[in-house]
Amino acid sequence: MLPASGINLVTGDNGSGKTSLLEAVYLLARGRSFRHRESAPLIREGTQSVQIVGHLETGSSSRHVIGMARSKQEVIVRVDGRAAAKRSEILRILPVQWIGPEPQTLLTATPDIRRSFIDQGLFHVEHSYLGWLQQYQRALDQRNAELRRGGENLVGWEIQMDEAATEIDHLRGKYLENLVQSMQRLLAAWDFDLHVESRYQRGWREGEALGEVLKGSRLVDRKQRFTGNGPHRADLVVKSANLRSGRRLSRGQLKMLACAFFFAQSRIASEHGLLSEILLFDDLASELDDGNRRKLLQEIARTYGQAFVTALTDNDLPLENAACTMFHVEHGAFSQTGGRDT
């Protein structure tokens, strides 16, 4: 299989291996799967590790070879024959955006899903963000450990948390304002009849420094044995209804709204100079009518330099005006069935 730039459509029966292809690209970029937290399900029975090699062209003269081996004990990543210093090095040259069969879970699932989405977007556009997030997480872990021991020595960790939380909250607020505006522009371009309200909840009381809130909550936190306030409790609350009827959205409408958020995130990354993300979109067609499928395909062609889209058959997608390279997979074997030869 030799994928091309633009849209690569991968068709096949359920269980044939379509999603495994997307998982391999994601695993190479992130070092983990979007389906499993543990490495064991990724490793074929009788072998010690899973290994993936990818050849990446990021321009007319920029090429990289990325190799990844993951066992149950460790992950080894190499770039152009040398060990990668940090995982973030891979994400800079192989940025991916994954959209699963039910992207609407971004809007309907628990806040940790939305926090992860926000963190992923900010990682690419604010280089200082990862450092502040790591500082906060370390201090939070230490404060929680101290709470489990009785919580007598909290001040030092609270000072570090307060410093990091101030920066995290500032960066998240700016980013989400930009993200929501970009999402609204997409909905308008799609002529989507929705009223969307988005509200950022930072994770502790407005108008107060986190340090003061943590000081005032020590008694409660000691009883609970964990920290109840801070950026780790943040959320993006999204409410929407059909403009004409005021009714709750259908699953198809929720899917389109969620896709608008994902596409807006990728647009912002591109505007900040990031290499064009590779889109991995599993089962685009499900729960959407022909018109909305067409809107998504057109937006993918505009936004992403390369995309891998799966479907049961090519008849599931309106491809008449889309530049696609088409593949079919059966029992894990891929064959090109149409499109460009490159």
The yes-or-no verdict on residue 236 having pLDDT over 90 is yes
pLDDT of residue 24: 87
More confident residue, 274 or 52: 52
Say whether pLDDT at 244 is over 70.
no
Domains and CATH numbers, the chain: 104-274 (1.20.1050.90)
The arithmetic mean of pLDDT across residues 84-102, rounded, is 83
Task: Give residue 90's pLDDT band: very low, low, confident or very high (50, 70, 90).
Answer: confident
Q: What is the 3-state secondary structure (H, E, C) of the chain?
A: CCCCCEEEEEECCCCCCHHHHHHHHHHHHHCCCCCCCCCHHHCCCCCCEEEEEEEEECCCCCEEEEEEEEECCCEEEEECCEECCCHHHHHHHCCEEEECCCCCHHHHCCHHHHHHHHHHHHHHHCCCHHHHHHHHHHHHHHHHHHHHCCCCCCHHHHHHHHHHHHHHHHHHHHHHHHHHHHHHHHHHHCCCCEEEEEEEECCCCCCCCHHHHHHHCHHHHHHHCCCCCCHHHCEEEEEEEECCCCCCCCHHHHHHHHHHHHHHHHHHHHHCCCCCCEEEECCCCCCCCHHHHHHHHHHHHHHCCEEEEEECCHHHCCCCCCCEEEEEEECCEEEEEECCCC
Of 21 and 49, the structure prediction assigns the larger pLDDT to: 21
Q: 88: which residues sit within 8 A by CB, 6+ positions away?
A: 123, 130
Mean pLDDT of the residues in the chain: 88
189 backbone dihedrals φ, ψ, rounded to 5°:
-65, -30
pLDDT of residue 342: 41
Q: Identify the residue with better confidence: 180 or 334.
A: 180
Give the model's pLDDT for residue 5: 86
Does the pLDDT value for residue 341 go beyond 60?
A: no
Question: What is the pLDDT at residue 42?
Answer: 67
**pLDDT grade for 340, boundaries at 50, 70 and 90:** low
Q: Which position has the higher pLDDT, 311 or 48?
A: 311
Give percent of the chain above pLDDT 70: 92
What type of residue is 19? T
Statement: residue 19 has pLDDT above 60: yes
Per-residue pLDDT at 322 exceeds 90: no
Of the two residues 324 and 217, the one the predictor is more confident about is 217
pLDDT for position 36: 66
Q: Residue 245: is its pLDDT beyond 70? A: no
pLDDT digits (tens, 9 = 90+) for 140-178: 999 999 999 998 899 999 999 999 999 999 999 999 999
66, 94 Cβ separation under 8 angstroms: yes
Task: Please report the pLDDT score of residue 243 as a whole number.
Answer: 52
As a whole number, mean pLDDT of residues 71-91 equals 79
- Comparing 106 with 37, the larger pLDDT belongs to 106
- The band of 3, judged by pLDDT with boundaries at 50, 70 and 90, is confident
- What does the pLDDT read at residue 51? 82
Q: Tell me, what's the pLDDT at 215?
A: 97
| pLDDT at position 115 over 90 | yes
Q: What is the pLDDT of residue 75?
A: 79
Task: Give 277-314 pLDDT, tens digit per residue.
Answer: 899 999 999 999 999 999 999 999 999 989 999 999 88
- Cα–Cα nearest to 306, from 96, 1, 5: 5
